Amino acid sequence: MTLGFVACGRMPVAMLRGAAGVRAHSMRLKHNAGLSLTMGRAAFASTPMSPWEPHTALDKVYEKMDANLSIVRAKLNRPLTLAEKVVYGHLDDAHGSPAPVRGKSYLKLRPDRVAMQDATAQMATLQFISAGLPTTAVPTTIHCDHLIAAQNGAVADLAKANVDNKEVFDFLASAGAKYGMGFWKPGSGIIHQIVLENYAIPGGLMIGTDSHTPNAGGLGMVAIGVGGADAVDVMAGLAWELKAPKVIGVKLTGKLNEWTSPKDVILKVAGILTVKGGTGAIVEYHGPGVESLSCTGMATICNMGAEIGATTSMFPYNHRMADYLNATSRSAIASLANATMGNLTPDEGCEYDQLIEIDLNTLEPHINGPFTPDLAHPLSKFAEAVEKNGWPAELKVGLIGSCTNSSYEDMTRSASLVRQALDKGVKFQSVFDCTPGSEQVRATIERDGIISTFADAGGIVLANACGPCIGQWNREDVPKGTPNSIVTSFNRNFTSRNDGNPKTHAFVASPELVTAFALAGSLKFNPATDTLKDKDGNEFKLKAPYGDELPQKGFDPGMDTYQPPAAEGSALKVHVADDSTRLQLLTPFKPWDGKDYEDCALLIKVLGKCTTDHISMAGPWLKYRGHLDNISNNMYIGAINAENKEANKVKNQLTGEYGGVPDTARYYKAHGVKWVVVGDDNYGEGSSREHAALEPRHLGGVAVIVKSFARIAETNLKKQGMLALTFADPMDYDKISPSDKISIVGLSEFAEGKPLTAHVKKTDGTVISIQLTHSYNTEQIGWFKAGSALNKIRSDLAA
């Protein structure tokens, strides 16, 4: 890749422009046709890309990190965790910043990179365009992985996606070329696997517009999922704000054995911490047990750390990471990381805010679910749980791959089980789908016969994309509404998440267990103790899975799927048609009018879990991610109304009639009535999608009042000018009735650390007062007053 420095504002930013070292000398830039650009093919001409040149840019990252840590150490005078080293090492102004306090201080940071997937990149790119800047200030990439639906296999599904989503792909490709963003085309693979193979660096700081961005923690990086507005800040060259995370330590001892895999570590941790136990914290794995994990296995653990609400997860730099860097043509990075090992590992004697210890020697394989990723079951007790709870025992579909578990190691271990079965004349008893994480992994496992092994047993290989993991699954084997069970090696299994069927019981396990279950066709099968029958009716037992951590023949990069940004993009045009149903240029939100919010209607009081899937569903709605008004028609349609225990059915306070949530919100907006939402605990857990904040803002909402927030959801609301407020007394949630009108007062004195008050007017005219707390700092209050963070950026740049 090409390295160097570009000017942005008043400070130089290290540019890691371009693609991977792994494809450094083989890429021919051969897929540039079909872009809606007013330019010729020559505009894509690029100098040959090369691996990292350690003395031109990466060494500057480590030099700055070392200099910052010298300053911070003098202020704190104590040992530092690894998470602290990387985060504080990226302070914008270490000299001028007070000593950071975990869980309290707001930090101004300078990330090294931004990564976006196609579903979230649409809105982020539209926001960046509206900021009026000529190019991104830090290395940025767009990855087309979310808009490819799984149905008929890789070739057919990718071809259909290219037709169905041509307008969006062309928009993203043209915007990437113009604004300096690398563009990974459909079929390249899933964003997090591409980042791990190409961009992740030990000790680096990256933000990504996907909640599973922490996958890069498998290479010792602090990689954090954010909303698009946060990405725009960094792309615009501004410092990025983060509350100093607490640090949860997970000490690993012992060694993984037989059926146990790295996936089981995070399944166990999820059971301990639950879906909100990691909120506001970085989970830092350490201890001698780390040495038994591969680099991609560490990435698996970090990836699914998003399910416990953690800011990110990470591992200390070690030889397993160096092996992976060398295998992916990044030996220069490994050499430089080896030289700065002291800043890439925790200090001896450092203290954690919470410490969990896991003995890998005794860790069992786990299966988590259904309907939530933190309901953990050891394999030895899973069949009993299936029976006791009446879950459908027949396994309809087993799915492996995804951004969480699609490494070469994962594929070879699963294939080892399939080969054993084939030798006995046994094929899959359930539908079995495999999603390669990247074109590089796909090409390599095809070369090494793994794809043919799966196919021989009846398996289907899907496109290199997210597919069923995010609801992009045109499933036809089970009618919607039919109870059934599936097991995946994915990371998330909320109700309806994978196939849109609320009766699908989705369980999460390692690829090896998924494969074993699919060979048996039953959830009650325990491969560690039970037997299968061969073609002659004789019983046999599967041997524990085995495989190669890295391919013995090296990685095959496969087809070239990368488009670099144009060398000069100022003359390029990015078109958004006025009549498009997929893309819509943004109109800035109105600034706060300086008045309290009086007599707001309560749009919905949400009962129980309210994930971003409940607030803004994925699946078929992904096609509208670039059109705010159209996608707003899915706002809160999955949330359960506390009044009637139904979804998408709320009472219109003006008419008295019941209707859909988006329709009712639009009615209020048309009649000049502001509205609020009341929610429960951990509101907005799950995806980083900022549409869950943009849609309420667009349809006239002013505040979300809950018991507690998931981190990204709270930040996204703040960025869009919504009030993100919490009950000072969580029991006050019960005092709110669906027919109440709510006034939020004290806004003229809105200040950091100062509560606000809600006056709740009942239908009989009585009023109760409820205290509301918040986590806004002075700058965030400025976003609220300006109408959004983007409005504030625009006004600051104009000044």
Which residues does the annotation mark as catalytic?
Answer: 145-146, 210, 492, 687, 689
E strand or H helix that includes residue 580 = none
CA separation for the pair 15, 8 (Å, rounded): 11
**How far is residue 694 CA from its own chain's centroid?**
18
CA separation for the pair 306, 779 (Å, rounded): 27
CA separation for the pair 613, 113 (Å, rounded): 27
Amino acid at 443: A
Contact assessment for residue 789 and residue 233, using Cβ atoms and an 8 Å cutoff: yes
Pairing mode, strands 597-605 and 675-678? parallel
CA separation for the pair 313, 541 (Å, rounded): 36
Supply the DSSP symbol for 544: P
CA separation for the pair 107, 73 (Å, rounded): 16
CA separation for the pair 437, 641 (Å, rounded): 38
Phi then psi for residue 243, to 5 deg, are -70, 130
- Give the HSE-up count for residue 340: Cα atoms under 13 Å, Cβ half-sphere: 28
Q: Which of 634, 590, 591 is nearest to 615 (CA)?
A: 634
Q: Which of 185, 187, 225 is nearest to 209 (CA)?
A: 225
Assign residue 676 a region: left if phi > 0, alpha if psi is -120 to 50, beta otherwise? beta
Radius of gyration of the chain (CA): 25
Contact assessment for residue 90 and residue 100, using Cβ atoms and an 8 Å cutoff: no
CA separation for the pair 717, 749 (Å, rounded): 20
CA separation for the pair 545, 702 (Å, rounded): 53
How far, in Å, are 240, 270, 628, 683, 777 from residue 784 at the CA level? Answer: 17, 34, 20, 20, 11
Contact assessment for residue 204 and residue 453, using Cβ atoms and an 8 Å cutoff: no
Helix (H, G, I), strand (E, B) or coil at 154: helix
Contacts of 655 (CB under 8 A, 6+ apart): 667
CA dihedral 311, 316, 321, 322 (to 10 degrees): 140
CA separation for the pair 604, 785 (Å, rounded): 25
Q: Which of 246, 226, 280 is nearest to 113 (CA)?
A: 226
Contact assessment for residue 110 and residue 239, using Cβ atoms and an 8 Å cutoff: yes
What string of H, E and C letters represents the secondary structure of 384-435? HHHHHHCCCCEEEEEEEECCCECCHHHHHHHHHHHHHHHHCCCCCCCEEEEE
CA separation for the pair 627, 119 (Å, rounded): 11
* Joined tokens for residue 637: 């349609």
Alpha helices in 181-240 (DSSP H): 191-198, 228-235
DSSP 48-73: PP----TTTTHHHHHHHHHHHHHHHH
Alpha helices in 672-720 (DSSP H): 691-698, 711-719
CA separation for the pair 15, 139 (Å, rounded): 5
